[in-house]
Structure formats: C-alpha cells, structure tokens
Amino acid sequence: MKNIQTIIERALDDEISSIHHFRANLDPSIAKCVELILQSKGKVIVTGVGKSGDIAKKISHTLSSTGTSAYFLHPTDASHGDSGIVGAEDVVLAIGKSGESEELNFILPTIKRIGAKIIGITANNKSRLAELSDITIITPILKEACPLALAPTSSTTIALMLGDAIAMALMELKNFKSEDFALFHPAGRLGKRLSLNISDVMRKDEKNAFVSISANLDEILKEITRKGLGATGVVDLNGILIGLITDYDIRKSLSNKKLNEGITAKEMMNPAPSFFHPEEKAYEVLLKMEDRERPISVAPVVDGNKKFVGMVSVHDLLQKGL
C-alpha cells in the first residue's frame, strides 16, 4: 500500500510549486484588468463552466462583499435568456483554463454585441477565449496536483487566488473601510462587532430599570425584579443618572447590617458607576465590561447630558453573537 502521507505531501507540493511559478510569471495585464473595473460604471459579471464556474461563484461573492458589485452568470443560463443581466457598461470576467469551453465561448460574442468588456482568465494564450477577450490574463500552470493531470487542482487554486488578488486591489484602491465591510455583513460576527452600537442592544424605555433617589427598599427590589436586569439606575427629577444599585450593593448593605425598610436609594447606590454612551460600539463595550479587575455584568447608558437612557448587560451583548 502506498504511503498516504507521501501522497498528500506530493499533492500539496505540486500546488505550492505551481503557485510560486504563477507568482514569478505574473501577467502584467492584471493591472489593466483592475483599471478597467475601476473605470467601469457598471457591475462585474463573473462566469465559467464546471470547476471554473465554482471558482467564478466564489470570486463574485468576494467582489460583492468588498465593495465591487458582482454577479455570477452560468454560461448555459446565459444562452437561454440570462445574458439579459449584462449591460453595456459592465465588465465580464470569464474563467477557463483551456479557454476552449464551448458553453463559455458561445455566449462571449453576444456579450461583445451588448457592449460589455471581457476579461479572459486562461492558461492558453492561443485559445478562443483569449481571442474573444478585450484583456487576457494568462495563468501559467506548472503542474496539476492530479496524478493523471486531468482534474483541475493547481489551475483552480491559481484562478481563485487571482480573483482574490483582484478583489483586494479594488478594495484598497476604493478605500474600502471596515465600516463598509460591516454594512455588507450585518449578520456575521465580524459585521456585528463593527456595526452594532450600544443603542442597538441596550434596554430602554419601559424595559429600562430606574428609581428616584428617595425610593425605599421595597420600590428598589420591585423595580429590579420587574425589569430582570439585576440592577436599577437612580435618577433625579430631570432623569439625570446619579447612581446605580446592583444585587451586589444590596448584598453589601445586608452584610453591613444596613439593610432595613427605611433605607433609601441614596444610601444604597454607587454614586459613581461606570457608564457608556449610546454611540459606542457594542463589542468594545463588552470588552471593557469584561476586561476589568472586577468585571461588571450590567452598566447604565447615558447621553451627552448624562440623562439615563438605557441599561446594557453582558448577557444581552453575548446573546447578539458578539
């Protein structure tokens, strides 16, 4: 039986050596490709057949998520009406190792008649795909990892890397920011960390817990229990935060034998609690709450005038998937 580890290592080495060969012989036309997309007023259509089609889908997703509007178009669907998605101001990124795929090359003359520009990505500079393209990027393949030299392996890896490189160049040249990335990824963990503010997460209005400075023990306990936060803010007549009472403060008063029916919020509260502002990033607040000598599980939120507008809890932040 052949050594499995040796087979795996050989396949990896074949792909790695092909990547190095591609990098050392990088086609300068890639710069023209990026410039053409930058200057275009339309979108990028990425197309390919088979394994190249799978790579094309991934490249279109990467472009779209990094600030370049892109769509995947299957050549077979394009020949049956879906070529209507292509506009005269669009750029079509057509991927095919051999450059001789009938399904792909069949739709390219139609795309040219529509007026869109075609960028061909192929290992064959004498192919029909290269002939039909306005710009051709040649991807030299040193060796496929397939022992039969049949299954696309090194070639698809290189096409994928090239697509990533184009997307990253466009991202940088467009000055695409982390805030922009978050806008396109609202449901992902990274998107939430970059986009969610405390105002999106805090307990506010009727869900917020607060009592007056003269509130007695019964009022304090009822408010904490009713709102389920384990704490309540203490406010003055204008709604300005003047203190915070947590379960810890109640236990401290009990241990100091100060807890009685006549005790007031003023006597029990922490007059200088940590607080946050609505516009602060939720993830940064989570880190601040946890990265303390004594981590806190709940904190008040105040506006620029120190008006008590909400309460944030570690539990709520974690529930958001941060």
Please check the confidence at residue 309 and state whether its pLDDT lies above 90.
Answer: yes
The model's confidence at residue 184, banded by pLDDT at 50, 70 and 90, is low
The structural domain count of the chain equals: 2
Mean pLDDT for 8-35 is: 96
Instruction: Note whether 109 and 40 are same-domain residues.
Output: yes
Closest among 91, 4, 77 to 43, alpha carbons compared: 91
Q: Are residues 147 and 41 in the same domain?
A: yes
- Position 43 in a domain: yes
Whether 135 and 221 share a structural domain = no
Q: Indicate whether 45 and 105 sit together in one domain.
A: yes
pLDDT at 293: 81
Residues 258 and 224 in one domain: yes
Assess contact for 320 and 313: CB atoms under 8 A: no
Q: Is residue 124 part of a domain?
A: yes
Domain boundary (176, 211, 235) is at: 176
User: At residue 193, does pLDDT exceed 80?
Assistant: no
137 and 252 belong to one structural domain: no
Q: Is 20 annotated as a binding residue?
A: no
**Is 9 part of any domain?**
yes
Q: For residue range 162-180, list pLDDT tens digits in order.
A: 999 999 999 999 998 877 7
Task: Of 5-14, 45-54, 280-289, give the lowest mean pLDDT range.
Answer: 280-289
Q: Which range of residues forms the domain containing residue 86?
A: 4-176
Taking only the tens place, the pLDDT of each residue in 144-158 is: 999 998 899 999 999
pLDDT digits (tens, 9 = 90+) for 56-80: 999 999 999 899 999 999 999 999 9
Residue 256: pLDDT above 80?
no
Given 123, 142, 176, the domain boundary residue is: 176
- With cut-offs at 50, 70 and 90, classify the pLDDT of residue 290: confident
Q: Of the residues 176, 210, 229, which one is the last residue of a structural domain?
A: 176
- Same structural domain, 204 and 172: no
CATH (domain of 33)? 3.40.50.10490
- In this structure, is residue 192 part of a structural domain? no
> Both 20 and 155 in a single domain?
yes
Same domain, yes or no: 27 and 171: yes
Answer whether residue 44 shows pLDDT above 70. Answer: yes
Is residue 185 domain-resident?
no
CA 132 – CA 128 distance, rounded (Å): 6
0.75 exceeded by the pTM? no
Q: Are residues 155 and 203 in the same domain?
A: no
Q: Does 191 have pLDDT greater than 70?
A: no
Which CATH number do you get for residue 228? Answer: 3.10.580.10
- Whether residues 143 and 252 share a domain: the answer is no
